Structure 1
């Protein structure tokens, strides 16, 4: 059983900001402010069976950036002999970058 070791935001904060901007309640945060708050970041979570581990790669400031980087991370893990069984891109703040064996 794999336990989620990554704190995930339940609501996409960017959508909240868009809604508030539309209602003219706040200004959109600057890129610098978003960089300072890594809770806005997307991370790649890769699950391997051999060794049995969860790896986090990031942070990325957008799903497209993470998607472009994903094949390279998978290739690196496979070249090291890992058997990749799954991956996902999620907005989170991992507590550790490598979890498992």
Structure 2
């Protein structure tokens, strides 16, 4: 019997592979993911006051839809209201060219 892959974990794995293929290794996120688990790592990063360099790097590579902020909105039931609001704010700011 084949194990069913968690859709969020699969999305994040794909995000990392795409980032690596563009020459950006998201090492801080990968370390935090191992340390805290995927959801907790994302929560910690997205709800921090400052915009992470990784998010800025993904934006510069045209990978906004592969950011952890995008993951929060793609899988909203997995995250806190605070994380969802922070992700929405960051993505909206990015679309407006404020980041």
The structure where strand makes up a greater share of residues is 1
Larger RCO, structure (CA 8 Å, separation 6 or more): 1
Compute the TM-score of the two structures, normalised by the length of structure 2.
0.28
**Structure with max Cα Rg:** 1
Compute the TM-score of the two structures, normalised by the length of structure 1.
0.28
The structure where helix makes up a greater share of residues is 2
